[in-house]
Chain A
């Protein structure tokens, strides 16, 4: 390409590429708005489903082995994103964002003819674009041999090994539940200030905190109920801030819980035999204590000690 090529208009070839690009973009936007899988993705998933394309899986070979031994066949890796601007509420945006992504992931799984999506990872790209963030889910759609495709595929935010262990115990991980709640504490003057006091509970803040947290947990249960009868809440996030306005203090408390929903029957015996195994290789085990036995020389590990 010579220097002067820049000043020429785009050739017919690149014009065609651009047009195709635009069309694809338009289709993605229209599809997502209409709660459909974008055409290009749908074609790929359907081809993988029919075996016209090779399967793809986010699983490591060891996980593939576990999956295959339980009659699971990978179809395609599926993913979904919702990039959300939180104009109204950052906290509640988390609930909206993950749910939109979850719905889109289910759509992809359905297009792939899957019974389940496993090894689903919840991700956010570290691009700090003003007042917005992306909620992305990536996982592997699988088919259970001998079962028809599901109209309502389950989404499991656990790895393949845990997925099959749960299944064997008659517990199905089904989806994601989010409980997100924020609240303001205002109009108390400076009652929460107690600089001059000795030991005392700040009952105002304690109670405020409890309200926020209880709200989030109630939301979590409401959110989980349509998906299953339990949650394993692996993420609890909370923050409290103090602001000052017109010489009075205000407080913002927020609490977010993110959980894997499960559907299982109470009181079913867990079929796995459990025995104790000690790995002679080393590494961390409660049998060797959880804290290091030599802490006195720990500073020697710091940078520059050599």
Chain B
């Protein structure tokens, strides 16, 4: 393998520098493996795309004994994320990227104010190496996806391409139980039906919203869906259900199942 080092790399190791690059400096937060795989998949990173939003979340109280969505909070959590993602995508469009890979969406509470949340979306803008525009989203803008470089490679080799990161949020108030209702259940196992149905409804709303986004993006499916529950410093009966995933479409030329390689099984003796 000693001759595996290409000429250009050898020149640089000798201490010789090529002429300065005309294309400028690309920035990315890819790991080395992601970087290599994204390039292997035929794309080149061009720049980090970031969108952020500091958002003041309003106050809303649920009625003590009612299951209900807290729509003020739902809207806040959705709107703020959307602002951050839209800004990130605008940065990608400005650099003429075909898409954004490896988007990380994070929420941080600003320590001096309970109601101020900071939303950040960050990912690496990529272009197709051969200038193929068929990877763009349905509106001609860059695709977005929270898939890592590794997942991106796998997705393309499974015959799909990412279209848009889709999400749904539902902040829900789970009803408190009445004082008297506790008496009837002493010494018995009973289902707390209103709690169960609260979980059902909140989760359904979140998933449904995500799915609506996916169909608006004209996607065939959503991959890597993550449904998780979180509380952002709200009262104990308030919980956010958040569904997020990457909407996908088949490649122009779908890959026949028999042409998709099976993984090789190995047994490593690592710990």
Seen from chain A, the residues whose Cβ lies within 8 Å of a Cβ on chain B are 69-71, 115-116, 144-148, 150-154, 158, 162, 164-172, 174, 194-195, 197-202, 205-206, 209-210, 213, 217, 220-221, 224-225, 228-234, 236, 240-242, 259, 263-268, 270-272, 274-281, 283, 286-287, 291
Contact = CB atoms under 8 A, between A and B. Distances in A.
Given A162-B32, A201-B54, 17 more contacts: A71-B1, A115-B14, A151-B15, A162-B33, A167-B5, A198-B58, A199-B72, A200-B58, A201-B79, A225-B25, A229-B21, A230-B26, A242-B111, A266-B129, A274-B40, A276-B262, A280-B266
Contacts of B12: 154, 172, 174, 263
B112 A145 contact: no
B35 interface: yes
Nearest to A266: B44
A270 B48 contact: no
Interface in B107-123: 110-113, 115-116, 118, 122
A270 B40 contact: yes
Given A168-B5, A280-B265, A230 B13 contact: no
Contacts of A209: 52, 54, 118
Contacts, number: 204
Contacts of A172: 9, 12-13
A270 B38 CA distance: 10
Interface of B: 1-2, 4-6, 8-10, 12-15, 17-18, 20-21, 23-33, 35-37, 39-40, 44-45, 48, 50, 52-59, 72, 75-76, 79-80, 83, 87, 110-113, 115-116, 118, 122, 129, 150-151, 153-154, 226, 261-270
B48 A217 contact: yes
Nearest to B13: A115
B56 A200 contact: yes
Given A152-B15, A213-B50, A231 B9 contact: no
Given A199-B72, A201-B80, A210-B52, A231 B39 contact: no
A168 B57 CA distance: 50
A278 to B, nearest CB: 5
26 contacts: A71-B5, A115-B14, A144-B5, A154-B12, A162-B32, A167-B4, A167-B9, A168-B5, A170-B6, A172-B12, A199-B72, A199-B79, A201-B83, A209-B118, A213-B50, A217-B48, A229-B25, A230-B27, A231-B27, A234-B31, A263-B17, A264-B8, A272-B36, A275-B264, A277-B266, A286-B154
A207 B52 CA distance: 9
Contacts of B24: 221, 225, 229
B1 A70 contact: yes
Contact of A169 (B10, B30, B36): B36
- In the A-B complex, the 8 residue pairs with the smallest Cβ-Cβ separation, listed nearest first, are A198-B58, A150-B15, A71-B2, A276-B263, A205-B54, A229-B21, A162-B32, A152-B15
